[in-house]
A and B are shown apart, each in its own frame.
Chain A
Amino acid sequence: MDFYLGLAQVIGVHTLLGLSAYCVLLTGQVSLAQAAFFAVGAYVAAILTVIFKWHLFAALGVSAVVSGLTACAVGFPALRVKGLMLVVATLAFGEAVRLFFFNFTYQIQAGELKIGPHGAEGFRQIRYFPEHGWSTFDVLMFIWLMVAIVMACLWWLDQSRAGAVMRAVGEDEVAAHSSGINVTAVKVLAMTIGGVIAGIGGGIFAHYTTHIEHVQFGVILATFAIAYPILGGLSNVFGTLLAVIFIQGFLIEGLRFLGDWRNLLFGALIVLAMNLRPRGFLDAGGVASLKRMLFAGKESSGA
């Protein structure tokens, strides 16, 4: 049972990472900086709970703010470029952040031990959850509460005028601009919201893995971050969740018994999924069909 609870934790945290990229993708931008924001959140939250003994909730709040501000700061210069140039710019930023943590050492003496981030060797003993008696189930509930809150906020955003504006920018930037929309502000806002979500996700990630190091926040994590919403579909937030379940639950954990063949199948199944559902698992057509089915069910039961 503990294994499934642990797996659900992984799915929850990766959903937050995917949702951080979802916001940015809605505005038509492809960002490979989400892993960097995730890293900022992870290190900030871990430093606050381990070195300064803050409560986790406060630490996550600060990590969200710091990541959000970082994303906002990156957003202004980075969003002056578009398309592939933005991918390169955000990738470069992500690597810069990773290399910063690669060299970042800030340790204090705690009894016989030194605690805190130690450059390439990472940051160990981030044991807030077990030291405060949180069971695996408690951690799971907390993670999914955060996921539910973030998904609800993004759902609400999607249904609001702000969401329509973000999608308008994503669909056709020139048309949106000619309609009086401040395109730069919308893009920077999306990047900032993505940074806040990644900061929360990173903060939780640091605490459930208990050890973080620069190598965890590289290009692979950044690729996963944008792969989730692209594979899941951008029609609504649930697509990202479906994609995370598919990748983390099925491809990584479900196929573990295949041993050496798992990695081969991993790539092949993603290619197959993209071919079968080129607009994502949950595209607009799929959502419309689901709605029709649900309404038809209600109508028939009502009749």
Chain B
Amino acid sequence: MRTVSVAAAALLAGMMTSVSGGALAQERTVKITGFGAKSGVVRVFGVNSEAAMKAAAEEINKAGGVTLGDDAKAKLSVEFLDDRCNAEEGISVIRRIASSDAFVAVGPTCSNVAESLFGILQKKVGDASDSGLQFPVFADVAAKGGLAAISEWAFRNVPSELEMYKSLFAWLKREHPNLKTIYGGVEKDFAHSNATYGVMKKQAEENGFQLLGTGEWLLNDTNFSTQVREMRRANPEIVAISAHPFTTCGVLREMDRQGVKPKLLIGLTSSSSIETLQGCAKQAEGIIIPTSFAPVTAEAKTAAENVSKQGGSMDLHSAAAYEIMFILKDVIESQKIMAKPDTVQADRNKMRQGLAALKETKGLLGTVGRTNDREAIKPYLYVYAKDGSWQVLHKPSS
């Protein structure tokens, strides 16, 4: 009886080993961790990034997954961590991800978080005197200019707002030569909005527009009557608002209430999203925004539908997260990343080298160029709000 039991146990163990071994061979999974704000006022950006990453992973997996360095096939899975748009939490999250077998992370949402966590990364690769973290981070949303320059381990797939607004104001000057005066509005306490307002203001002035004044408010503000009253007094022909959808809508509603009707409205890139239309479609009618995403190609339309199925919406930021997943797939394959626990640091180095070597990548609106300072040069177009949806207004030839 004892011999039978031992034999049965051995047989069972053998079967389990072969089953699990086979299963392992078939079900090897590479986890890509994203992080960003999934709580607070900017929560929607994290929700959209997560949905976009999951939609892209599903597409990649449907097409057979990713081929690893040992020629094994692996499926991609996505985990997304909330940093609450808080720098300290962002650092903790990146340390948590870097303590795992991950070889890259995608995020963050907020530029202030990117500032801090790019700061804890090693500044120059191979600098033995710099004890910073050696871990590649690929930003999808954090849009403040020049962030990737902080560390050679930092990469971004965000559009250049300088180029976009430079082009937009030059186009406005050509197309609307009769418009001369402009009034600005800025969400002063949000790094991205504030930095981009500087860009808008400079480009407006360089193109000969006369700045009549600037209204300032904070991300959590809900009352804009004073700022809009000043705006009404100035009676500008153009109003340029550098703010996210929540306060952009607040200001637009207040402008509607006070009867401020400029001939032209300009918005921040991040406001070319569904949230603006959900919040104030009527008041936002006609607002012109440069963006690096619109569902104008078949691929972009499919991607937007897939992201929607995952519970998010596609905009320029989530489109960047979607594209990043495909970029990571290509780099995993070209750099022969092994994705094994004993090759973690080697995989991280390979990932960094692979990302740094990219000269161009495939984007939803066309080819995306890569700069030496690890930033993206993305194709863009101008959209405007019309009847509750974003319509393409103009596609610059660049």
Instruction: List A residues at the B interface (Cβ < 8 Å).
Output: 1-7, 10, 102, 120-122, 124-127, 129-131, 133-136, 208-211, 213-216, 252-253, 256, 259-260, 262-263
> How far, in angstroms, from A129 to B121 measured CA to CA in the complex?
11
Which of B95, B131, B132, B188 contacts A6 (CB under 8 A)? B95
Given contacts A209-B87, A256-B81, 18 further A-B contacts (CB under 8 A): A2-B99, A2-B133, A6-B95, A102-B189, A120-B188, A121-B194, A125-B119, A127-B123, A130-B120, A130-B122, A130-B131, A131-B129, A133-B130, A209-B119, A211-B119, A213-B115, A215-B112, A252-B89
CB of A3 within 8 A of CB of B95, answer yes
Knowing A133-B131, A260-B39, say if A7 contacts B92 (CB, 8 Å).
Answer: yes
> Which residues 157-192 of B have a CB within 8 angstroms of A?
188-189, 191
Which of B84, B92, B115, B123 contacts A211 (CB under 8 A)? B115
Across the interface, which residues of B come within 8 angstroms of A210, CB to CB? 115-116, 119-120
> Which residues 74-103 of B have a CB within 8 angstroms of A?
81-82, 84, 87-89, 91-93, 95-96, 98-99
From B87, B98, B122, B133, residue with most partner A Cβ within 10 Å: B87
Knowing A121-B194, A125-B150, A130-B120, say if A262 contacts B98 (CB, 8 Å).
Answer: no
Counted as pairs of residues, one from A and one from B, with CB atoms less than 8 Å apart, the total is: 99
> How far, in angstroms, from A134 to B130 measured CA to CA in the complex?
8
Which of A3, A130, A214 contacts B96 (CB under 8 A)? A3
- The tally of residues in B whose CB lies under 8 Å from a CB in A reads 34
> How far, in angstroms, from A4 to B277 measured CA to CA in the complex?
43
25 residue pairs A–B, Cβ–Cβ below 8 Å: A2-B95, A3-B95, A3-B99, A6-B91, A10-B92, A102-B188, A102-B189, A121-B144, A124-B150, A125-B119, A127-B119, A127-B123, A129-B131, A130-B122, A131-B129, A133-B131, A136-B95, A209-B91, A209-B116, A209-B119, A211-B116, A253-B92, A256-B81, A259-B38, A262-B82
Specify the chain A residue showing the minimal Cβ separation from B81: A256
> How far, in angstroms, from A126 to B115 measured CA to CA in the complex?
10
> How far, in angstroms, from A209 to B91 measured CA to CA in the complex?
7
CB of B130 within 8 A of CB of A259, answer no
> How far, in angstroms, from A129 to B120 measured CA to CA in the complex?
9
Knowing A131-B130, A216-B87, A253-B92, say if A3 contacts B119 (CB, 8 Å).
Answer: no
Across the interface, which residues of B come within 8 angstroms of A3, CB to CB? 92, 95-96, 98-99
Interface string of B18-58 (1 = CB under 8 A from A): 00000000000000000000110000000000000000000
B195 within 8 A of A: yes
